[in-house]
Amino acid sequence: MSDKHATDAYYKPYHGPAGGWGALISTQHHWLQSKNATRNLRTLLKTNQSQGFDCPGCAWGEQHKPGMVRFCENGAKAVNWEATSRTVGSAFFAQHSVSALYAQTDYFLEFQGRLTEPMRYNPTTDHYEPISWDDAFALIAEVLKRQDTPDRVEFYTSGRASNEAAFLYQLFARAYGTNNFPDCSNMCHEASGYGLISSIGIGKGTVEIDDFEHADAVFVFGQNPGTNHPRMLDTLREVIKNGKQVLCFNTLKERGLERFQHPQNPVEMLTNGFTPLNTAYFIPKLGGDMAAVRGMVKVLIEMEAEAQARGEALFDHAFIAEHTQGMDDYLKQVEATPWEKILDQSGLTREEITHAAQVYARSERVICTWAMGITQHKHSVPSIHEIVNLLLLRGNIGKPGAGACPVRGHSNVQGDRTMGINEKPAKLLLDKLSQRFEFEAPSLPGHNVVEAIQAMLNKDSRVFISLGGNFAAATPDTEVTEQALRNCELTVQISTKLNRSHLVTGKEALILPCLGRTDQDIQKTGPQRVTVEDSFSMVHASAGVLQPLSTEMRSEPAIIAGMAQATLGSFPIDWLSVVEDYDRIRDLIQDVIPGFSDFNHKIAAPGGFYLGNSAREHRWNTPAGKAIVHTHGLPEHILHSAAADLITHNTLIMQTLRSHDQYNTTIYGLNDRYRGITGERKVVFINPADLQRLGFTEGQEVSIRSLWNDGRERRVDGFKLVPYSIPAGNVAAYYPETNPLVPLSSVGDYSHTPTSKSIAVVLEPNQSTRII
Ligand SMILES: Nc1nc2c(c(=O)[nH]1)N[C@H]1C(S)=C(S)[C@@H](COP(=O)(O)OP(=O)(O)OC[C@H]3O[C@@H](n4cnc5c(=O)[nH]c(N)nc54)[C@H](O)[C@@H]3O)O[C@H]1N2
Ligand SMILES: Nc1nc2c(c(=O)[nH]1)N[C@H]1C(S)=C(S)[C@@H](COP(=O)(O)OP(=O)(O)OC[C@H]3O[C@@H](n4cnc5c(=O)[nH]c(N)nc54)[C@H](O)[C@@H]3O)O[C@H]1N2
Ligand SMILES: [Mo]
């Protein structure tokens, strides 16, 4: 058993600020590791510049001030990771069998370098072997054509695909005949899309990046920008410098939200001047934000009564009357919610909630931002409705400096949805596609991620095609998902780097190596650019700068066109001709997708163009023509009943989250600087009182077992306990190592998003070392 000294080796609390010298040192380390220092410096300086490429790191927007260097530490890691000169080609696969590679860690797999040749799995030898592009496309076409219905095929998308690739991909799948579009968004901001469409009639944030300059207060719910959206820290820092408020709600004391030092501002770094980033930091329990916001509204109702007694008003009654429906019912429900329930579920004190409410009341313009701490729970959609209701009370949607801001993850996940990657497409999109391309677009809803896994498990779906991403590792219930993929007749992975999904093969399996954001993309008419959309609905161009490592790599649009041409011939378009010049793809997009008229012309502008947002203009695309104020009771329990029914006094609620050295399933390194972890990923952050109550010691290795009433054991072993500032009853551990614990059917209400932030678990002495 480990003692305290064993823990010291990997856990040492971090006292510095976020950003700053640590960020620079870390960037340099990753730079050198990529074996390509000068090539990468050139690359980094082109990041997010108008003549360069869009950073593949995150979907935060750009503030267009001249001369700014527009990358952050973690963006630099993402760029360096892609721009490596290491390659994985036929010699590599001849050397390593698929089973041998399967035994390696995720870190090892991606570290091997860029995929450079199309490969086909040979089950007899258990090795991948080279295949020509034509043969690969012919194999895909043959398998697709022999299916009795197009709904046997799943078309997965990860959010790095460009608008051009995404548009062609959905056109291919729909022309083939299915809406089976499981996509990473189903595991990510689905609840934001659903929650916002059902309340304000558009599934996107309502703020522009410049709104932050005008906000009086920014409420940051359930996100860790120091790691996951570092450029957002610059924006928050400016808010505070303007003398305005940033209030953070996070179940962990995240260093990146507490203090921040700008890595590109030498004066600040030399003087060691830290900007205190938050003006208040609240630590709710997991899943407690809805209760916290409800408590704030309860206080605001009292303040409104006091204001009325003075002949004044706190609520924006004119706005409520003109623009909303259902506010009275909601306010009655809030009044009927007892404080005990609010305090118990939120884990906050009445004073804390009152303080937050007072800041809200004093602020003319309020922005609420959120990410996975809100969207990956069972009651995520109700939580988002609650946040929207809070904003609507004082007309905080559609005025400068105010609004709703779900902070997106992947750099083009929002654009992919705009382009029609959606398993439940709007009728308008299908009508436009049918009209423009003269075919009947399929109207039956397709599968989301969880449904796709279930369908492959039942063998209802038999082919899995993946435009990027790492489905086997990113999805819940790893063992079940792997079985689902293995059931397929064919799995196709269009990827930049080797990952677990290449090793969990169907009967047939293909790896199709593609160009990334940083690579030059030369087609018949010359160099091409693609476009992406950020969290603020800004669409802009991106063009890679590096020479591809192999002539055998193809662009995503070219690969999609190759599959489509082999499967469908020139129906409904001449696929190969549109990829000769991406302007032609953009012409198609402009004909189908609203907001893209004059597309090719508009992307010439530096910074791109704004797609507009109906809610911001007070046009509410809801059945009532107004913003809908939804009324939900606080959840009985934050867990799904299949877990809640099994809990005992030993049960803890676990969130799965990202370390500082990872990009989703891509592991750059084994450190998590701001949380003080080095050289280790298998850790469980736990409240010291729980550690003692459960009879464990710091640094002890444990197994984590999750609770779900289907008789299947879900367990991971060998995790070290790290005492941490986290509410009692809650624990945290990294994704994807803990994905085997997330039951496939533990999904959010309305959103069907796996509840990756609320899993019932028990900790047990480590099973792998236990003496029986
Ligand atoms: N460097 C880097 N950048 C990334 C990514 C990456 O992996 N690495 N991933 C990208 C993607 S796809 C996404 S979606 C985003 C993810 O960005 P985040 O949402 O910031 O990612 P997580 O690591 O899941 O962090 C969740 C945060 O919410 C807190 N939290 C969890 N549950 C709750 C809760 O119930 N209430 C509250 N108030 N807080 C809670 C956690 O303590 C943690 O700070 O980042 C994107 N950017
Ligand atoms: N337990 C748990 N599970 C989660 C989450 C969680 O918080 N907890 N978060 C969820 C979230 S928010 C998300 S978004 C998903 C992410 O799910 P995915 O998007 O499926 O996973 P990534 O890890 O981002 O995918 C990485 C792989 O993408 C490929 N790739 C990288 N760049 C490119 C490119 O430009 N083109 C192509 N074709 N391929 C490329 C590389 O091969 C790389 O190995 O995971 C979800 N899963
Ligand atoms: Mo995400």
Residue 67's pLDDT is what? 46
The runs of H, that is alpha helices, within 163-204 are 163-176, 190-200
Q: Please state the pTM of the whole predicted model.
A: 0.94
- Whether 640 lines ligand 1, by a CB cut-off of 6 Å, is no
Q: Is 50 exceeded by the pLDDT of residue 6?
A: no
Ligand nearest to the CA of 157: 2
pLDDT at 33: 56
The span from the CA of 558 to the CA of 467, in Å, is 12
The model's pLDDT over 145-201, given as tens digits with 9 standing for 90+, comes to 999 999 999 999 999 999 999 999 999 999 999 999 999 999 999 999 999 999 999
Question: CA torsion, points 669, 670, 673, 676, in degrees to nearest 10?
Answer: 180
Is the distance from the beta carbon of residue 559 to the nearest atom of ligand 2 less than 6 Å? Answer: no
- 619 to 395, 468, 613, 738, 743: CA distances (angstroms): 14, 36, 9, 43, 40
Q: CB of 630 within 8 A of CB of 70?
A: no
Q: pLDDT for 310-321, tens place per residue?
A: 999 999 999 999
User: What does the H/E/C string look like for 644-702?
Assistant: HCCCCCCCEEEEEECCCCEECCEECCCCEHHHCECCCCCEEEECHHHHHHCCCCCCCEE
CA angle at 86 for the pair 84 and 90, rounded to the nearest 5°? 140
Which among 239-243, 264-268, 673-677, 697-701 has the top mean pLDDT? 697-701
**Can you name the residues that pair with 368 across neighbouring β-strands?**
219, 404
Asked if residue 493 has its Cβ within 6 Å of ligand 2, the reply is: no
pLDDT of residue 46: 63
472 ligand 2 Cβ < 6 A = no
Measure the CA–CA gap between 400 and 616, rounded to whole angstroms: 9
Of 539, 544, 545, 543, nearest to 603 by C-alpha is: 539
Atom nearest to 739 CA in ligand 2: 1
Rounded CA separation 307/292 (Å): 22
CA distance 468 to 555: 12
The sign of the dihedral angle between the CA atoms of 562, 567, 570, 572 is negative
Q: Give the closest ligand to the alpha carbon of residue 165.
A: 2
CB-based contacts of 255, cutoff 8 Å, min separation 6: 14, 16, 17, 18, 226, 674, 675
Contact call for residues 474 and 106 (beta carbons, < 8 A): no
Q: Which atom of ligand 2 is nearest to the CA of 499?
A: 44
Residue 42 alpha carbon to ligand 3 centre in Å: 28
How far apart are the CA of 370 and the centre of ligand 1, in A?
A: 9
The whole-angstrom separation of Cα 402 and Cα 421 is 29
Which residue ranges form the domains of the chain, and what is each CATH number? 87-127+134-188+412-472+486-597 (3.40.50.740), 190-225+278-407 (3.40.228.10), 641-765 (2.40.40.20)
Q: Which atom of ligand 1 is nearest to the CA of 292?
A: 38
Task: Give the pLDDT confidence score for residue 145 in this predicted structure.
Answer: 98
pLDDT in tens, 16-55: 666 654 565 555 555 445 555 555 655 665 666 666 777 7
Using a 6 Å cutoff on CB, does residue 84 contact ligand 2? no
| 145 vs 563: CA distance, rounded Å | 12
- For residues 428 and 272, the model is more confident at 428
